[in-house]
Structure 1
Amino acid sequence: MARRADVLDLAVLGLLHDSPLHGYELRKRLATVLGPFRVLSYGTLYPCLKHLSDQGWITSAANDTDPVGGRRARIVYELTAAGKEHFDALVDESGPTSWEDESFGVRFAFFARTPTEVRLRILEGRRSRLEERLDSISTSVARSRERADQYTLELQRHGLESAQREVRWLNELISHERGEQPPTA
């Protein structure tokens, strides 16, 4: 399965872990979890829901209380016991894909249900990845300083500052997870 599909599966299962939802409400909440810049169409959501249902991780039922003025009943999706087990297994994973840009935010959204040692591995992996990115950006800025226009340099500076800010934030989270005092800025 593609990495984006894995991230979407995790997000859907995590949201359904809280309560049953119908498609429209699920899509709205997914937009919050996935971020405002990742538009999720129904053409992506419903195949995901079908896949999760085929796996036995969710069930669906028509909500009879909704029809008003001839509107169709909404289909409500709910997590099964197998779905809860699968969700627990997903949040226990802490490999390299869990700290990549594509999945880190979704993984972080469900940290409350993630074991401490897994949270630490993900946070440390994310920090390591960003430190690599910082080195790369710094090298790029140094090489292109004389050739690049002011807007390209500003974009590189913005990327550098964003990565530095996230590394500081991750350091604070890691210290908190370890029970240490967060570093002072």
Structure 2
Amino acid sequence: MACPSNRTQEGVENVLELSILGFLHEGPLHGYELKERIRGLSGHVRPVSDGSLYPAINRLVGAGLVAEYSEPGAGAAPRRMLSLMDKGRARLRERLRSPKPVEISDTQRFTVVLAFLRHLEDPAAQAAVLKRRLALLEEPTSFFYEDGVPVRMEDAGDPFRQGMLRVARAAGREERAWLREVIGQLEEGG
């Protein structure tokens, strides 16, 4: 059994792999450009370091998913360019078709799935991913529990917890409405 820190690291690597494959699907990039795009997507919440990005790239190159080659740089040094191979495109589609449960439940990881879901060209498969997220959001939940029951905003004991729950309720309501709308569009064929 993996220790919690190994599972956490595995989850970070999985979402990093998805980000790399997704951005390279859009066109070849050099490492710095790729890092900047990933940083823009994940922001300060889950910053990407060179110590995690470049080993992930090397794993994908070693697996035959990503190709690397040199291209003359703007200065004197050549740039390490990366492009997605057919096997990488297939892996991306597979990952998007069947996101891991944590990629559905964790909002930041789900954001990465959403960023690239358009590359899964089958509307029914796209809708299926969104339905998984919608089903999760329709379950009662809270940041706080009493005797195993979610604490409602109205029952939170202080204005700070009430604020957290109020914001989460509003965001959840909007996300569920958006999900229903897009699922309907995908199921209607457009």
TM-score, structure 1 normalization: 0.82
Equivalent in the alignment of 1:12: 20
Q: 1:108 aligns with which of 106, 114, 118?
A: 114
Equivalent in the alignment of 1:81: 86
Equivalent in the alignment of 1:63: 71
- What is the SS of the residue equivalent to 2:77? coil
TM-superposed deviation, 1:63: 1.5
In 1: Cα distance, 2:93 partner to 2:141 partner: 35
Question: Are 1:94 and 1:118, in contact at CA under 8 Å, matched by a contact in 2?
Answer: no
Whose Rg is larger?
A: 1
Matched to 1:11, the amino acid is S
Q: Does 1:154 align with 2:163?
A: yes
Aligned residues with identical type, % of pairs: 26
TM-superposed deviation, 1:35: 4.5
Equivalent in the alignment of 1:39: 47
Q: What's the CA shift string for 1:90-117, capped at 9, x where partnerless?
A: 2232553442225321111122221212
Moved >4 Å (runs of 4+): none
Q: What's the CA shift string for 1:23-54, capped at 9, x where partnerless?
A: 11001111233355321111111011011011
Q: Which runs of 5+ in 1 are unaligned?
A: none
Q: Does 1:168 align with 2:177?
A: yes
TM-superposed deviation, 1:81: 2.4
Matched to 1:109, the amino acid is A
- What is the SS of the residue equivalent to 2:46? coil
Q: Which runs of 5+ in 2 are unaligned?
A: 1-6, 143-148
RMSD: 2.4
Pair 110,104 (structure 1): closer, same or farther in 2 beyond 3 Å: same
TM-superposed deviation, 1:58: 1.0
Pair 74,121 (structure 1): closer, same or farther in 2 beyond 3 Å: same
Pair 180,19 (structure 1): closer, same or farther in 2 beyond 3 Å: closer
Q: Does 1:50 align with 2:58?
A: yes
Q: Which moved more, 1:20-29 or 1:171-180?
A: 171-180
Q: 2:135 aligns with which of 119, 128, 133?
A: 128
